[in-house]
């Protein structure tokens, strides 16, 4: 672990520059992906990637240069390239960063159980084959797949102010899906969709429920093809954590990214309905809505000690009792806007510059058990596991679809319905939040594939949430 640290430190000390400040961020990433489809092992995907990003601050301008040449000559060449860019850009700079503070922090951060061995490829494949073989024999079950992704990332950050941040993390992504077809309709049921990922080791596989899940998931797929279509019209909506994850991501996370609010994403991923003047004044949701940036849950995907600009990460409320307090903005966006923010300046790899990203964005637990949430609904529907999403470029109007639906009538769960969908406007939707589940309903979830930026960056994002109930939501089935 951190095998390159001593060499990098030595080469960093030997770099020569006229810049008053520069940094290096070394990243070494390995990944593997195993899958078994219809009892047949699929080709194994393996990857290794390593390089360095150099950041230079010169004449009040900050510039970047990346290289996979880790020799002394390669690092020096990248540093000189970044310096040259800074000199060229200085006459045209829109912002003087001379006085922006820099970090001198020293810290190590490790994923949980990083020192414990992870199952060998053969053992992991055997687990997936066993799970695939457990899918019942039924001619209506036409496709199924069990998968396991594993990613390890080692990162070392050094700068001329004396900072030394080392972070080593392991990310685990179990998956299982089954598709049923009856000659007229097909339905897919999965283990959390693409929303289950955590830091850690073999315990993540156990915690996600992958082991012995195939018969249950297959049975639910069969239930769906026999179920009636979801009825249309206004109903109370009970969203389970694996759908809340997507809801938080799209209608709170992206709208609160400060660089988007400042206009940086306008030509690519869009803007936000949130304005800088809204912080401290906008009632984003009901008084039950409490949203936090929280890097301190060890198993969550985006837990870390410092972001990629070496800012120390700590928990902050973004929305408290429904009131919007703080954006998702890293050090640069905070400097530009004068607003407080969080340590969420993140890059997807060594060849990308950090930008404002969601990290762990969570809804704090309420005080109602799952049974109490259901009992409080007279006419509603439970929805679980996202399968489709659409939202406008201001992250305001949205339409989401789920895999699994259950009717709720007079405080009781009733039959399964298929093709459950709902639509709303972000702020109005969150203001209709009327009940929040307690800690027993919370699940720690996340996604490995949140995309943003030009050139595009795909990063890991964590979302922990209880089950939640929303009043008077427009729901509809697949034929609406």
Q: For 263-282, what is each residue's pLDDT tens digit? A: 998 888 889 999 999 999 99
**Within 13 A of 426's CA, how many CA atoms are on the CB side?**
25
Residue 139 has pLDDT above 90, yes or no: yes
Q: Which residue has the tokens 């390239």?
A: 81
Angle at CA of residue 198, ends 197 and 202, nearest 5°: 105
Q: What pLDDT is recorded for position 316?
A: 98
Average pLDDT, the chain: 96
Global pTM value: 0.96
Q: For 68-80, what is each residue's pLDDT tens digit? A: 999 999 999 999 9
Q: What pLDDT is recorded for position 480?
A: 52
| Strand 468-476 with 323-324, pairing | unpaired
Q: Which residues contact 82 (CB under 8 A, 6 or more apart)?
A: 22, 54, 55, 56, 63, 64, 65
| Bridge partners (DSSP) listed for residue 2 | none
Q: For 210-244, what is each residue's pLDDT tens digit? A: 999 999 999 999 999 999 999 999 999 999 999 99
Residue 195 pLDDT class (50, 70, 90 cuts): confident
Residue 193 pLDDT class (50, 70, 90 cuts): confident
Q: What pLDDT is recorded for position 292?
A: 98
Residues shown for the chain: 480
Q: What pLDDT is recorded for position 117?
A: 92
Residue 239 in contact with residue 247, Cβ under 8 Å? yes
Range 277-294 average pLDDT:
98
Residue 196 pLDDT class (50, 70, 90 cuts): confident
The dotted CATH code for 5-138+145-173 is: 3.30.2290.10
Q: What pLDDT is recorded for position 267?
A: 82
The whole-angstrom separation of Cα 135 and Cα 133 is: 5
Residue 412 has pLDDT above 90, yes or no: yes
Residue 194 has pLDDT above 80, yes or no: no
Q: What pLDDT is recorded for position 318?
A: 98
Q: For 346-398, what is each residue's pLDDT tens digit? A: 999 999 999 999 999 999 999 999 999 999 999 999 999 999 999 999 999 99
Residue 125 pLDDT class (50, 70, 90 cuts): very high
Start and end residues for every CATH 3.30.2290.10 domain found in the chain: 5-138+145-173
**What CA–CA distances, in Å, run from 317 to 55, 258, 323, 361, 431?**
30, 15, 10, 10, 17
């Amino acid at each position: 672990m951190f095998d390159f640290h001593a060499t990098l430190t030595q080469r960093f000390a030997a770099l020569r520059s006229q810049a008053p400040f520069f940094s290096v961020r070394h990243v070494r990433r390995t990944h593997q992906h195993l899958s078994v489809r219809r009892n047949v092992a699929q080709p194994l995907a393996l990857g290794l990637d390593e390089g360095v990003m150099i950041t230079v601050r010169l004449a009040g301008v900050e510039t970047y240069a990346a290289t996979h040449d880790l020799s002394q000559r390669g690092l020096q060449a990248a540093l000189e390239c970044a310096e040259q860019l800074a000199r060229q850009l200085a006459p045209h700079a829109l912002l003087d960063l001379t006085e922006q503070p820099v970090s001198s922090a020293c810290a190590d951060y490790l994923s949980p159980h990083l020192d414990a061995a992870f199952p060998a490829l053969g053992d992991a494949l055997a687990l997936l084959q066993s799970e695939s073989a457990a899918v019942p024999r039924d001619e209506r079950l036409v496709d199924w797949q069990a998968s396991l992704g594993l990613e390890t990332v080692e990162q070392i950050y050094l700068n001329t102010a004396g900072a030394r941040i080392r972070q080593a993390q392991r990310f685990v992504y179990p998956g299982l899906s089954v598709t049923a077809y009856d000659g007229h309709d097909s339905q897919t049921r999965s283990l959390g969709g693409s929303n289950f990922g955590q830091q850690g080791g073999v315990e993540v596989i156990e915690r996600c429920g992958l082991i012995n899940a195939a018969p249950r998931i297959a049975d639910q797929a069969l239930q769906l093809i026999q179920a009636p279509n979801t009825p249309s019209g206004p109903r109370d909506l009970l969203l389970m954590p694996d759908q809340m994850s997507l809801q938080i991501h799209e209608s709170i996370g992206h709208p609160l990214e400060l660089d988007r609010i400042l206009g940086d994403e306008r030509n690519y991923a869009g803007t936000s309905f949130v304005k800088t003047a809204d912080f401290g004044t906008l009632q984003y949701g009901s008084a039950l809505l409490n949203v936090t940036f929280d890097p301190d849950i060890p198993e969550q995907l985006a837990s870390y000690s410092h972001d990629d600009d070496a800012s120390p990460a700590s928990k902050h409320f973004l929305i408290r009792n429904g009131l919007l307090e703080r954006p998702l903005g890293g050090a640069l966006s905070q400097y530009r806007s004068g607003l407080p923010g969080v340590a969420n300046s993140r890059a997807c790899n060594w060849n990308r510059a950090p930008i404002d990203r969601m990290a762990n964005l969570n809804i704090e637990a309420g005080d109602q058990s799952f049974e109490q949430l259901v009992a409080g609904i007279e006419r509603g529907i439970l929805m679980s596991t996202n399968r489709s999403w659409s939202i406008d470029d201001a992250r305001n109007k949205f339409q989401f679809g789920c895999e699994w639906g259950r009717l709720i009538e007079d405080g009781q769960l009733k039959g399964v319905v298929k093709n459950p969908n709902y639509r709303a406007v972000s702020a109005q939707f969150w203001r209709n939040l009327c009940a929040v589940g307690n800690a027993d309903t919370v699940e720690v979830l996340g996604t490995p594939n949140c995309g943003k930026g030009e050139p595009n960056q795909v990063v890991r994002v964590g979302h922990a949430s209880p089950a939640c109930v929303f009043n008077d939501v427009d729901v509809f089935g697949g034929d609406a």
